[in-house]
Amino acid sequence: MSSRILAEHYEVQRQLGKQTGRQTLLARDLQTQELVVIKQLFLGSDFEWQDLKLFEREAETLKALSHPAIPRYLDYLEIDEPDSKSFALVQTYVKGKTLQEHLRSGRTFSESEVKELAKSLLEILSYLHKQNPPVIHRDIKPSNILLHSRSGHSVGQVYLVDFGSVQNQAAKFGGTITVVGTYGYMAPEQFGGRSVPASDLYGLGATLIYLVTGLHPTELSQQDLKIQFADRVAPLNPDVIDWLEWMTEPSLSKRLSSAEEALQSLKNPRPSNKNPMVVRQYSDIKLTKTSDFIEIITPPQGVGFGLIVLLLSWIAANIRLLLEFVEGRTYPVLNLISIIWLVTVVAMFLFALFRELRLRIDRQQISYSSHLLGLRWNHSKPAPRQEICQLEIKQIGYKVSQMIIQAGNQQYRLGAKQGLTKSEIEWLATELSQWLGLKIKRTFTKRGFMRLYI
């Protein structure tokens, strides 16, 4: 292929890509000796005039643009060869790897790199959208973004390529609806053939979500058409998460409307009043929740009758030594059993008076821990939030209930052992059900017999 010459002007070096009816080549301009990229569209059996219109529009658009981060238009050719006829768009060659290639090679991007990349691309989009009429790329995705000359902590030079889906807002196809773009990165309005500058913002937001999660947008769940990704980005700043959610709002009226607005919002995050904290109390239980987390704090159970009896038993067993100590006649010398007994009683009093139990679920995980005088320890190993699969209330007899949260192989239990009444369990389960979006599974156990209710 290296000896092939196109239009007596361009020496083909190698093929960069190929799709049905078209290919992309790396070639050398024999006059300037510069490397160029040639995109060819063939007139074959699968040729459609719609493809040619988009191809010509890409050429006309690039011809009118002049930006250092966009490949420059060089030439447009009609090529007649013995076995084929094609159209060719020639543009400057940009050396670098696409974001898609970086991701496939295992490269990860830090928060600062993601923000740097976002700023660079928003500046490019701002330039495009300020054209008269505005130029809308319509296919922002990792494979259409190139990075070159990465150095130190810089993400490198950012380029936006492949304007094959471009549209200006004055362009129409004779009343027909044209849907172009890539599934997963297309804003909802594009499925109806409508594209506006905010459509490019959606594509950029979905691309950045791919960067921070390592997952294609179609691999992430959706709720009311919103991409659910927050639980996959543990170290990411909540302001950046909020900004990405804003960029990918399905509704145009709620989405950021311009590249300038998006850039300004990235630098100056909006107030977090969209995520108010709700604090509720039932009996002595405190429940705190936002859209980011829910936390249940169970207070100390207090000193019960059994603990008082245990303390009085110890005093009775050591009354003689204690009286001698009070009268100042001697220092009590306790045997090992009495010491262990005393330490146990003191520890139980501390637990009864000061220990709090905290069940917390946030974007990343579920944890269940004890807190005592500044100390903290887990009762169960924390589990990833996305592994929570079941919320169950198990009624034991007629007066005692237990709530069980199943997360993978882990179970988190709250019930009578933690001093919770049946009504408190019902209240907590209802709150968790609403927050997690899980139905409550109910089981009834009596004398070994179990019936299941959903």
- From the list 51, 139, 200, 242, the catalytic residue is 139
- CB count in 10 Å sphere of residue 370: 15
- Residue 312 CA to residue 293 CA, distance in Å, equals 44
Distance of CA 439 to the CA centre of its chain: 24
Name, in order, each residue with C-beta under 8 angstroms of 75's C-beta and a sequence gap of 6 or more.
Answer: 9, 88, 89, 90
Does residue 96 contact residue 157 with C-beta atoms inside 8 Å? yes
Let me know the angle formed at the C-alpha of 74 by 13 and 92, rounded to the nearest 5 degrees: 50
Name, in order, each residue with C-beta under 8 angstroms of 330's C-beta and a sequence gap of 6 or more.
Answer: 324
Alpha helices in 332-454 (DSSP H): 336-354, 422-436
Peptide bond into 235 cis (omega under 30): no
Report the half-sphere exposure of 122 (CA within 13 A, side-chain side): 24
The values of phi and psi at residue 235, to 5°, are -85, 0
The values of phi and psi at residue 383, to 5°, are -125, 150
Q: Write the DSSP string, 266-283.
A: HHSPPPGGGS--EEEEET
Alpha helices in 318-418 (DSSP H): 319-326, 336-354
Task: For residue 150, give the 3-state DSSP assignment.
Answer: coil
Tokens of 168: 């200006």
Q: Is 139 a catalytic residue?
A: yes
- Residue 161 CA to residue 182 CA, distance in Å, equals 15
Tokens of 296: 């249940």
Alpha helices in 380-439 (DSSP H): 422-436
Q: Label residue 426 exposed, middle or buried (CB < 10 Å: 0-12, 13-18, 19+).
A: middle
Residue positions annotated with a catalytic role: 139
